[in-house]
């Protein structure tokens, strides 16, 4: 709270200025979204080894590519199902 007072803004404003990672953004914006493969499981987004975003639905695990949208967020494309190992 002291930080918010020192910088002249509220703590909420100070936190919101920190850009979200693609994974955090997906989890916040896309979580619980209905897809052709079922509803995205909230909290399931994670970064894969290749930097793509993985998420779960009732039909399995999928990966998508994040692209900055120029407005502090991301758009997602190239969805592929991850093969079971």
CB 64 within 8 A of CB 53: yes
- Looking at residue 28, the DSSP 8-state letter turns out to be H
pLDDT for the residue 32: 82
Single out the residue of 35, 42, 75 nearest to residue 59, CA to CA. 35
Mean pLDDT of 30-55: 92
User: For the whole prediction, is pTM greater than 0.75?
Assistant: no
- Report residue 14's pLDDT band, with 50, 70 and 90 as the boundaries: very low
The residue ranges of every structural domain in the chain are: 19-81
């Amino acid at each position: 709270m002291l930080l918010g007072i020192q910088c002249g803004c509220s703590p909420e404003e100070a936190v919101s200025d920190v850009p979200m990672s693609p994974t955090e953004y997906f989890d916040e914006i896309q979580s619980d979204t209905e897809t052709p493969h079922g509803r995205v499981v909230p909290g399931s987004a994670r970064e894969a080894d290749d930097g793509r975003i993985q998420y779960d639905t009732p039909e399995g695990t999928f990966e998508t590519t994040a692209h900055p949208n120029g407005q502090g967020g991301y758009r997602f494309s190239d969805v592929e199902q991850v093969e079971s190992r």
